[in-house]
């Protein structure tokens, strides 16, 4: 096959940051995706309808045709009374970070049950709950698995509430999501389908590739295989959310690297390569452009995107950020 055309994809988990960086990120995202979920962990975070509207205006002002699916941060102070205004401002989802699990989560949630009235209000407004499903403090490889009982508990209390377990990274998570009702789904990143812990740190636990460090951390070969299998099988509960999360080269290489991998410019070519190698190209479009939209109950995109089999070398650096697969050769290119 020398070319492939798919419905234009959506990214259901993307960090578009702020300021000059935001302008670059919006433009790069618009080249690949029709719509993108916008994560709310800005500084300060997107807490209320006013923040959300302001951020949305800034994103639109970049002047692309990318459509923004806005989210707000579910924090201890997010009250049920705030939810109708957030919905009216255009929010599609609220994102919950447990306290201290990742970049800018110092204001995260310690007591999830205390937020049950807020979840009830989100259910009434038909908003999606996006979960960063990790328990801080545990062994990095076990943090996600340790969170799964909490996911079960929320689902049990709110069986109708649509929940996305974001960036599923373990076999345990794949099995848990498959076993629960259709209101539970998972987003899957490109890097968790490609990397294992060995690509990030050595056996003593010291990070040898800071640009591969993300939260949740890439796990074992068995975990990666479980993710690949469920995605290649065309399971409707698993869809693309890149969790593209750029940090400057300077910060990444300074010693204590912040977590996050910038994947937007290579996401689609890398996925195409992966699905082709597995003999599953026929499943690519559903993963990138259908299952997520169905879960979010939004129409499928009309436009299409073409990839051609043509090698190219990924840039070493883009606006001060080292992208995933920097300097490497990829075999599929967006035409």
Residues labelled as active-site residues? 243
Residue 106: which region, alpha, beta or left (left: phi > 0; alpha: psi -120 to 50)? alpha
Which is closer to Zn ion, CB of 51 or CB of 243?
243
With CB under 5 to 8 Å by kind, the binding choice for 259 among Zn ion, ligand NCD, none is ligand NCD
> Closest approach of Cβ 335 to Zn ion, in Å?
29
Q: Give the contacts of 78 (CB within 8 A, at least 6 positions apart).
A: 47, 72, 94, 115, 118
> Closest approach of Cβ 41 to ligand NCD, in Å?
5
Q: Where on the chain is the footprint of ligand NCD (CB under 6 A)?
A: 15, 41, 102-103, 132, 214-215, 243, 245, 259-260
With CB under 5 to 8 Å by kind, the binding choice for 260 among ligand NCD, Zn ion, none is ligand NCD
Q: Give the contacts of 255 (CB within 8 A, at least 6 positions apart).
A: none
> Closest approach of Cβ 215 to ligand NCD, in Å?
4
Which is closer to Zn ion, CB of 134 or CB of 243?
243
First to last CA, the chain: 15
Question: Is residue 152 classed as helix, strand or coil in its secondary structure?
Answer: helix
Closest Cα partner for 260 from 195, 216, 295?
A: 216
243 lies in the binding site for Zn ion (CB under 5 A): yes
10 lies in the binding site for Zn ion (CB under 5 A): no
329-334/184-188 β-pairing? unpaired
Closest residue to Zn ion, based on beta-carbon distance = 243
Q: Give the contacts of 149 (CB within 8 A, at least 6 positions apart).
A: none
Residues 216-241, buried b or exposed e (16+ Cβ, 10 A)? bbbbeeebbebbbebbbeebebbbbb
Per-residue DSSP letter, 196:
-
> Closest approach of Cβ 215 to Zn ion, in Å?
8
CA–CA separation, 275 vs 122, rounded Å?
36
Token pair in block for residue 91: 């929010």
Which is closer to Zn ion, CB of 10 or CB of 285?
10
Closest Cα partner for 128 from 241, 30, 18, 260?
A: 241
> Closest approach of Cβ 16 to ligand NCD, in Å?
10
How many CB atoms are closer than 10 A to CB 283? 16
With CB under 5 to 8 Å by kind, the binding choice for 214 among Zn ion, ligand NCD, none is ligand NCD
Which is closer to Zn ion, CB of 63 or CB of 100?
100
Token pair in block for residue 289: 């452009």
Binding mask 200-239 for Zn ion (x = CB under 5 A): ----------------------------------------
> Closest approach of Cβ 95 to ligand NCD, in Å?
8
| Contacts to Zn ion by CB under 5 A | 243
């Amino acid at each position: 096959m020398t070319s492939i055309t798919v419905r234009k994809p959506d990214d259901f988990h993307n960090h578009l940051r702020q300021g000059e960086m935001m302008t670059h990120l919006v433009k790069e995202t618009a080249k690949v995706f029709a719509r993108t979920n916008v994560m709310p962990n800005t500084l300060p975070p997107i807490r209320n309808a006013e923040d959300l509207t302001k951020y949305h205006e800034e994103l639109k002002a970049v002047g692309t045709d990318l459509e923004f699916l806005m989210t707000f941060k579910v924090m201890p102070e997010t009250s049920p009374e705030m939810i109708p205004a957030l919905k009216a401002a255009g929010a599609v989802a609220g994102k919950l970070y447990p306290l201290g699990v990742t970049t800018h989560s110092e204001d995260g949630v310690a007591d999830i049950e205390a937020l049950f009235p807020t979840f009830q209000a989100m259910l009434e407004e038909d908003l999606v709950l996006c979960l960063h499903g990790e328990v801080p403090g545990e062994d990095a490889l076990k943090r996600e698995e340790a969170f799964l009982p909490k996911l079960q508990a929320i689902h049990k209390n709110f069986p109708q509430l649509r929940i996305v377990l974001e960036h599923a990274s373990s076999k345990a998570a794949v099995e848990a999501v498959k076993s629960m009702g259709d209101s539970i789904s998972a987003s899957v990143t490109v890097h968790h389908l490609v990397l294992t812990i060995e690509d990030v740190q050595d056996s003593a636990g010291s990070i040898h590739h800071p640009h591969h460090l993300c939260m949740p951390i890439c796990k074992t070969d068995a975990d990666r295989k479980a993710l690949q299998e469920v995605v290649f099988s065309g399971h409707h509960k698993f869809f693309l959310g890149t969790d593209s999360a750029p940090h400057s080269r300077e910060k990444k290489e300074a010693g204590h690297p912040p977590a996050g991998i910038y994947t937007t410019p290579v996401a689609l070519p890398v996925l195409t390569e992966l699905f082709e190698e597995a003999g599953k190209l026929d499943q690519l479009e559903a993963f990138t452009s259908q299952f997520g939209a169905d879960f979010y109950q939004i129409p499928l995109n009309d436009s299409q995107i073409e990839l051609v089999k043509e090698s190219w070398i990924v840039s070493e650096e883009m606006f001060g950020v080292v992208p995933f697969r920097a300097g490497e050769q990829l075999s599929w290119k967006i035409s």
